[in-house]
Amino acid sequence: MPSRWQTCTRAWIWRGISKVATKPKLYWLVPATVTGALVPFVLMAYRLYQHRLGANPIATALNQVGLLALIFLCASLSCTPLKVLFNWNWPLRVRRTLGLCGFFAALLHFSIYFALDQRLELEPVLKDITKRPFIAVGFSALVLLVPLAWTSTRGALARMGFVRWQRLHRLAYVIGALGVVHFYLRVKANHAQPIIYGLIVALGFALRLLAKLKKSRDMRLRAGLRAARSEST
Ligand code: HEM
């Protein structure tokens, strides 16, 4: 007859195994996100090929790719708030992929501007960056995105250590805000759209901050309880 210890250990191991076995692996999530992210670019290329990108295809492509960059960045910034609000883990699995999609879209947006709009001439680009605030803000967002994309690998995280890595990656909110300001300054009349993106970034930031405050309050409470318990014994 098995002892009580053996039965308990077996039950504990079995519970662990079944938990792992039933935990959804969601291997398809990242490939599905990348495929979904590529769809608007493929559609845009198809419309360009069919000469259906409007009277000024360069301006249309520039604006649409810029908007996609902002959408991906906002989606990436919404992953942690979704975890905080609904305790979902799956958004965290696509946070990095969405951020990288935002980076590549921003890079493509800049490339269209530099190569097609400005015909690879450095002087007018530098003049634009120094004279037009909205271009300067967009350029700052792109420059800040580079170190985040560079350090988005597990290797970089291990090399930097979690605290330093996390500190650097907090820049994501600054980049989101710069993207929104860039859009706001670019729009002449109806500011509803940039304001909506601004609210998404601000709400995500506020939720993240609240979760952090709650966590540190809980930790302080637990430390207080532990101290009180050790004093009474
Ligand atoms: C994170 C980086 C960036 C984001 C999120 C972003 C986003 C956007 C958005 C949302 C628009 C407007 C789209 C629309 O009206 O539908 C836009 C337009 C534009 N952006 Fe960016 N952008 C970024 C970086 C840059 C950079 C680096 C440059 C150039 C140095 C740039 C130059 C432009 C230009 C020239 C336009 C079009 C302006 C016009 O047609 O009047 N952007 N961008």
Instruction: Please give the pLDDT value at position 231.
Output: 85
Q: Which atom of ligand 1 is nearest to the CA of 175?
A: 1
Q: How far is the CA of 147 from the centre of ligand 1 (A)?
A: 20
Closest CA to 35 of 97, 88, 77: 97
Ligand 1 pocket check for 62: Cβ under 6 Å: yes
Domains of the chain: which residue ranges? 22-202
Residues of the chain with confidence (pLDDT) below 50: 1-2, 4-7, 9, 12-14, 16-21
The helix-helix angle for 90-111 and 133-150 (nearest 10°) equals 130
Question: Which residue out of 58, 109, 119, 126 has the highest number of ligand 1 atoms within 8 Å of its CB and is therefore the one to mutate?
Answer: 109
Mean pLDDT of the chain, nearest integer: 91
* The token pair that represents 94 in the structure block: 């696509």
- The Cα–Cα gap between 233 and 227 comes to 10
Q: HSE (CB half, 13 Å, CA atoms) of 221? A: 6
Write phi, then psi, for 132 (nearest 5 degrees).
-110, 110
Tell me the per-residue pLDDT of 98-149, one tens digit each, with 9 for 90 and over: 999 999 999 999 999 999 999 999 999 999 999 999 999 999 999 999 999 9
Ligand 1 pocket check for 139: Cβ under 6 Å: yes
Q: How far is the CA of 106 from the centre of ligand 1 (A)?
A: 8
Number of neighbouring beta carbons within 10 Å of residue 131: 10
Check if the beta carbon of residue 76 is closer than 8 Å to that of residue 116.
no
